[in-house]
Structure 1
Amino acid sequence: MLQNMTEGASLKLIIPFTVPLLIGNVFQQLYNIADIIIVGRTIGVNALAAVGAVSPLFMLTMVLTIGLSNGFTVVTGQRYGAQDMQGMRRSIATCVVLSLFFVLLIIGIMHLVIDPMLVMMNIPPELMEDAYAYVMIIVDGLLAMMAYNLLSGIMRSLGDSKTPLYFLIISSIVNIILALVFIIIFGWGVPGSAFALVIAQAFSAVLCVIYIYKRFPQLHIHRSDFQLDWPELWAHLRMGLPMAVQFSVLGLGIIILQSVCNKFGSDQIAGFTTAMRVEQLALQPMISFGIAMAVFTAQNFGARRFDRIRDAVHRCSLLTLAFSLFAAVVVFAFGEEVIGIFLDNPSPTVMEAAHLYILYTVPVYFFLSQIFIYRNACQGMGVSMIPMLSGMVELIMRSIAAIYLSVPFGYEGICMAEPIAWISCAVFVFAAYHYFVRLLEKKYTPVN
């Protein structure tokens, strides 16, 4: 069901929209977490380390598709908020064309640069074969990932967050079943995990296509909708490219962080990988509110309702503060128990590495929560340069901290890098949002 967010109490719209989005994001994390658990407990620490060592490359390709699709569909949401149905369908057609072009471009580039990237990431020799196989299967299946992210992004931009959730739950179950079959029964090892992931994503994309075709005739695009020109393409590129750059910059920061971590051996890689998976689960409420904020802001920006944007940002900022405190308590209290799920009898070194990362990052979850709210609000208002610049702030601070702090402090220096990056970025996006919301409100408010 499509939903207009330009009328009604902001939280009464945002919270019901966010809940299925949150559940969906948790299930999306199960794609990775299921792989990590199955690989770690059935194959061993080295297999887990191999997947973890290249997980930033997987994350880079994933966030590129998410960044492009989320950026492109901001335009779709704005036109829906302005009740421009013809423009909305033309936007969907443009999203399809641009997404296909960029996913093929990303696949081609990754094939060219994968070997030097793996060398740059300091992958231990004993992990190289599995690491290479895993990441290349993911790259070659990138079209499925882009298709699901685009189709679910279109539905969310129009106020429907429940349907993508249902399909994601189904595909997550498919992923877990296939991973168990491919690894345990067929004996495919680490590549089996990657194949399961790609097939499950393709399945969810097919479900989205069938559902949109049968339930939403107003979203059906025709040949006339593909009459693209440069202004139409640029309207989407100016939103999608900065978002993609922002996510890719963040991905590069994680790659640099992982490459420094990879120098410390398999136990530290395994500990770092499991700790980051626990963190990703804990942060899902904040991430979900951020996505909801982008949709809400885009529709209300299309309707020029800046009062509603201000109110929603303020209320969601307080809500994510509460969630960040709750997540910090939960991770501190149960983090080690959750880490133990990933491996069968993990060594003390692995547990120590995971616990140390949690110890440094949990206290600053609040700053990270504010990044999601203010950055996505800027994105929804069409200020696409702010998400990109905020990503650069994170990249610079994370890279400098990881490279230079790891020299005197070793692995502990890597754990310090994330809090430094988050605090710096939070300050930047907070100031940017308040500057641009005043500027845009003044620009679009008619003078009596």
Structure 2
Amino acid sequence: MSAAKPLWKTFLRFLVPLMLSNALQSLFGTVSNVYLGQMIGIDALAAVSAFFPVMFFLFAFVMGLSTGATVLIGQAFGAGEHGTIRSVVGTTLAVGMLLSISIALVGGVFSRQLMIALATPTDILDQASAYARIMMLTVPLGFVFLLMTAMIRGVGDSLTPLLALALSIAIGLILTPMLISGSFGLPALGITSPTWAAAISNSLTLIVLAVYLRRTKHALAPDAALLRHLRLDRAVLGKILGIGLPSAIGMVAMAIAELVLLGLVNGFGSKATAAYGAINQVMGYTQFTAMSISITVSILGAQAVGGGDRTRLDGIVRTGLAFSLLLTGGLVALIYLAPRAVLGLFITDGAVLDLAKELLFIALWSSVPFGMATVFSGAMRAAGVALTPMLLAIFAIVAIELPSAVVLSRAIGLEGVWAAYPIVFCAMFVLQMGYYLLVWRKRAIRRLI
């Protein structure tokens, strides 16, 4: 990074490709579901949905692993220690490959038993088991792709992961319908088509990415020096997991809380459930924006920690807060200006649309304090402090969000469930900001690696 360049420009140059990457991933998931629903049928969508809990836990772990690795890579990059970067990359890939190969072996054999244990309806059990088997057999490719693209961001490069993701998605979107229909001489693979398409696209993209990184002499190029570090370094792994596991646990805790809230919403009938689904789709985009800003703070902050520049870290936090207000707040304001048009993309029933609009007005603005809370937690994570921010977040969920949702749903009805969102996100903002300003900021920062 150039010291002469204004911080907001550096921030924005990293943030925009990151946000586009998140948008592309969401688009790919949506289009894949459209392919399955339109070309095979509703049972295919149900079968894929049955595997979602397993997929979420796998995703939470790999995201936690990549978060820990990215922070350490950012610190090493900020300190100019390229040998240390290779050590982190090698250890991360080694543990990711060992774990994913184990998942592939176990999942390939016991996928049907797993889907039975998840109480998958018998009419879709065969399809769900077939999908789960191929999904888990191809997990190693997905893990390596996700880890590599995430770790590249650690050296301040968010454009290369965007281009890699765009290539992978383009290949996947072309292959999926061809494999579903069995056109151009390809086998008709039915419900497993998206997983095979993803495996092929990840493989081809990883080859292209490796060639590109070597030609550009990128810090993460898979050269002989990096391959020598492809092993488990216990000291490095401990530091990766020290940051990554709290991040993964935080994701799981929020997901469990969402299941509890969904249970409360379901008690108000199918219209309430339909409105819940649509509102979560809309809030997902505002929260994606907020999380992208948090990741940017974490990576740029890690580089500042690596360089021992506390002043720059403070500036990154201020810039992150400003972008949270501007981008997340701006997106929220745009949605508030035309809520029916936005919700109408997901809902056609007039009564459900009216209900969703009313509930959206209660909850949507809370994406702004949520985003600002994640700026503070992202800054602390940049210095390797992940446990306390995670505990504060879980405290807010368990002691504030869930009790508020239960009590208010009984007192004022469905609106009470949605009121729990602004309550908990404001609480998270106060807790994270309070700990950052009153405790963490008074401590000396030291890089971990």
1:246 equivalent to 2:250? Answer yes
Q: Using the alignment, how far apart are the partners of 1:225 and 1:341 within structure 2?
A: 49
Q: Using the alignment, how far apart are the partners of 1:117 and 1:250 within structure 2?
A: 23
- 1:433 maps to what in 2? 436
AA paired with 2:362? Answer: Y
Unaligned runs of 5+ in 1: none
Alignment of 1:27-426 (within 5 A): 27-38=24-35, 55=52, 57-104=54-101, 114-115=114-115, 118-119=118-119, 138-182=135-179, 192-193=193-194, 195-197=196-198, 199-216=200-217, 218-219=219-220, 220=223, 221-226=225-230, 228-258=232-262, 269-342=273-346, 346-348=348-350, 351=353, 354-355=356-357, 357-393=359-395, 395-396=397-398, 397-401=400-404, 412-426=415-429
Give yes or no for contact 1:48–1:270 (8 Å, CA) kept in 2. no
Cα distance, 1:390–1:12 mapped onto 2, change above 3 Å: same
SS in structure 1 opposite 2:169?
A: helix
Higher-Rg structure is 2
Give yes or no for contact 2:94–2:231 (8 Å, CA) kept in 1. no
The two structures have a TM-score, normalised by structure 1, of 0.81
Q: CA deviation at 1:384?
A: 1.9
Q: CA deviation at 1:297?
A: 0.5
Cα distance, 1:42–1:203 mapped onto 2, change above 3 Å: same
Q: Using the alignment, how far apart are the partners of 1:390 and 1:125 within structure 2?
A: 41
Cα distance, 1:403–1:134 mapped onto 2, change above 3 Å: farther
The two structures have a TM-score, normalised by structure 2, of 0.81
Unaligned runs of 5+ in 2: none
AA paired with 1:289? Answer: I
AA paired with 2:371? Answer: S
SS in structure 1 opposite 2:118?
A: helix
Q: CA deviation at 1:18?
A: 1.0
Q: Using the alignment, how far apart are the partners of 1:83 and 1:172 within structure 2?
A: 33
AA paired with 2:374? Answer: F
Give yes or no for contact 2:283–2:367 (8 Å, CA) kept in 1. no
Deviations 1:62-83 (A, max 9, x none): 2321221121221111111111
Kindly, what percent of the aligned residue pairs are identical?
A: 23
Q: Using the alignment, how far apart are the partners of 2:169 and 2:431 within structure 1?
A: 36
Q: Using the alignment, how far apart are the partners of 1:250 and 1:376 within structure 2?
A: 17
Aligned residues: 436
Deviations 1:378-437 (A, max 9, x none): 111111213422442354244445566556666555434433332222222212222454
SS in structure 2 opposite 1:160?
A: coil
AA paired with 1:426? Answer: F
Give yes or no for contact 1:76–1:154 (8 Å, CA) kept in 2. yes
Q: Using the alignment, how far apart are the partners of 1:260 and 1:50 within structure 2?
A: 24
Q: Using the alignment, how far apart are the partners of 1:144 and 1:126 within structure 2?
A: 30
AA paired with 1:368? Answer: F
Cα distance, 1:201–1:362 mapped onto 2, change above 3 Å: farther
* RMSD across aligned positions (CA): 3.8
Cα distance, 1:224–1:371 mapped onto 2, change above 3 Å: same
Q: Using the alignment, how far apart are the partners of 1:318 and 1:210 within structure 2?
A: 38
Bigger drift between 32-41 and 154-163 goes to 32-41
Q: Using the alignment, how far apart are the partners of 1:157 and 1:248 within structure 2?
A: 24
Q: Using the alignment, how far apart are the partners of 1:54 and 1:408 within structure 2?
A: 36
Q: Using the alignment, how far apart are the partners of 1:21 and 1:289 within structure 2?
A: 9
SS in structure 1 opposite 2:362?
A: helix
Give yes or no for contact 2:61–2:245 (8 Å, CA) kept in 1. no
Q: CA deviation at 1:200?
A: 4.4
Q: Using the alignment, how far apart are the partners of 2:316 and 2:128 within structure 1?
A: 43
Bigger drift between 77-86 and 169-178 goes to 169-178
SS in structure 2 opposite 1:83?
A: coil
Higher relative contact order (CA 8 A, sep 6+): 1
